[in-house]
Amino acid sequence: MRGIVANRNPIPENQQDILPMEAVMPLLDTAFTWIERNRETYLDRLFDYLRLPSISAHGEGIVETAEHIAGVIRGIGLETEILPTAGWPVVLARRSDRPSRPTVLLYGHYDVQPPDPLDDWISPPFEPTVRNGRIYARGVGDNKGQHFANLLAIEALLASLGELPCNVLVLLEGEEEIGSPRLAPFVEEHRDRLDADLVITSDGPVNESGRSCLVFGVRGVALFELRARGARTDLHSGNWGGVAPNPLWRLVHCLGTMKNAQGEITIAGFYDDVKSPTPLERDALDRLPYDDARIMAALGVRCLDAPDDRPIADRLAVWPTLTINGLHGGYAGEGSKTVLPCEAVAKCDIRLVHDQSRDDILAKVADHVRRHAPDIEFIPLGGMDPSKTPLDSPFAEPIRRGITEAQGEDPLIVPALGGSLPDYVFTKILGIPAFGVPYANPDEANHAPNENLEVERFFDGIRTGASILAHLGSMKKPNTA
């Protein structure tokens, strides 16, 4: 790295446990100053990254994007490889400056959701544009802008301190938006190289109130498609209505057996593995400052999803959902067309909590469809298990302090994020704790048109990343003398 200033205040190697905040502060001041001086080029470099489409659903721009970000990471000073998988490649990088300190794996994904419906974007999805203090681009929040902030945090620490306060692994995958189908086998295969003590992921939004969060879990997701077929061809609804079965009615009735109007999922055994939150989780959930009225106003809805009696914190963290992502069949044009369609398709996702497993739930859905609508084809589309890290993990406190120092305010403790990340590969396969430190604004509109990230949250993210690494570096590697 040209231009990096050697550090005169390395982190003391002999520090046994968490440094008091007063000791970490001077180290960070230098890094923060560096970050402040580089605002403009940081934005430019983020924009270069955002301009590359990398749509895992159909592969557009994926390989070029992996090469681009691998080049960026190598330039920062990490040993960087692009490793193939059966799908899109993984970018894996490491820097191990301090053997006696913990190794943190920074996970992210360089792929993005498809940008449609394109007409709803105010500026084009792959031409990053700043309006009213926000960067608009597909992937800016989910997830390029967030892991890019963490990469710049590493760069800023190296530039200002000369070495990193702890060891880092960076793992960026290219299939998160299609359910990370190859991440588990990748982690199994490369288990030896993934010798991290903990994982941090910056993805998803901060709390709806705008407060920063420290997240201990994610919901899992199980994806499937239901495909109903009627006659060989579309038919005239007058000539054949009442004679030929209608695949749209079949889907409507099948879906109606899976979730009732009261919001209860009526698939046998669906709630079997949904456990009550632990006392620590219950307490944390109750402290989350969700404001129903403000959320409803922001969404533009007059009521919350059924049932009425569940707090928003619980709806997102400890309760599963069954969402129809899309349902399509028959005439879609203007006016009327009295057609009896020959095919209809529903795409659905289930958000899983606690001890639910993707495979178990998909098997239960398959069984339900077989019993209630044997003429409908059930197509499982993968997904990922949920993940949980205990709220009393020893890494929780340094991360919390890292966030507090960078942002001037204690983060909220969030037992689980509503969205899904493949954290289970770390907590369940590698057996290490996984934490979420999201940087995005709650109205980031990820997966939707006009996805955006507040410019200041991007810079907050860089500072926060640096601060967390500094605080983790102030503790000893676990299980070492």
Distance CA 226, CA 379 (A): 6
CB 158 within 8 Å of CB 469 = no
- Using left for φ > 0, alpha for ψ between -120 and 50, and beta otherwise, residue 210 falls in left
Answer for which of 5, 294, 338, 456 binds a second copy (CB under 8 A) is 338
DSSP 241: B
Binding to a second copy by CB under 8 A, coded x per residue (else -) over 377-396, reads ----xx--------------
Helices (H), 204-278: 237-240, 247-256
Decide: is 246 part of the binding site for a second copy (CB under 8 A). Answer: yes
Pick the piece of the chain touching a second copy (CB under 8 A) from 9-17, 87-95, 148-156, 445-453: 445-453
Q: Which of residues 249-308 bind a second copy (CB under 8 A)?
A: 249, 251-253, 255-256, 259-261, 295, 299-306
Shortest distance (Å) from residue 477 CB to a second copy: 33
Closer residue to a second copy, CB minimum distance, 33 or 338: 338
* Subset of 360-379 contacting a second copy (CB under 8 A): 375
Q: Is 470 exposed, middle or buried (0-12, 13-18, 19+ CB in 10 A)?
A: buried
Nearest approach in angstroms of CB 165 to a second copy is: 32
Q: State the binding string over 394-433 for a second copy (x if CB under 8 A, else -).
A: -----------------------xxxx-------------
The nearer residue to a second copy, 21 or 327, going by C-beta atoms, is 327
Is residue 192 left, alpha or beta, with left meaning phi > 0 and alpha meaning psi from -120 to 50?
A: alpha
- Indicate the residue among 212 and 321 with the shorter CB distance to a second copy: 321
Residue 430 CA to residue 187 CA, distance in Å, equals: 8
Only segment of 30-38, 223-231, 392-400, 454-462 that touches a second copy (CB under 8 A)? 223-231
What is the spatial distance between Cα 376 and Cα 370, in angstroms, rounded to a whole number? 8
Contact flag: residue 119 with a second copy (CB under 8 A): no
> Which residue stretch of 10-18, 20-28, 42-50, 115-123 sits at the interface with a second copy (rule: CB under 8 A)?
115-123
Distance CA 120, CA 115 (A): 10
Contact call for residue 449 and a second copy (CB under 8 A): yes
Footprint on residues 339-358 left by a second copy (CB under 8 A): 339-341, 344, 347, 349, 351
Rounded to the nearest whole angstrom, what is the least distance from the CB of residue 354 to a second copy in the complex? 14
Asked if 241 touches a second copy (CB under 8 A), the answer is: yes
Q: Is there binding between residue 447 and a second copy (CB under 8 A)? A: yes
> Of 25, 327, 366, 455, which one interacts with a second copy (CB under 8 A)?
327
- Taking CB under 8 A as the criterion, which residues in 166-205 touch a second copy? 178-179, 204-205
**Spatial CA neighbour of 441 closest among 204, 221, 282:** 204
* DSSP structure string for 437-471: ---B-TT--TTSTT-EEEHHHHHHHHHHHHHHHHH
- Please list, residue by residue across 186-225, b when 16 or more beta carbons sit within 10 angstroms of its beta carbon and e when fewer do: bbeeeeeebebbbbbbbbbbbbbeebbbbbbbbbbbbbbe
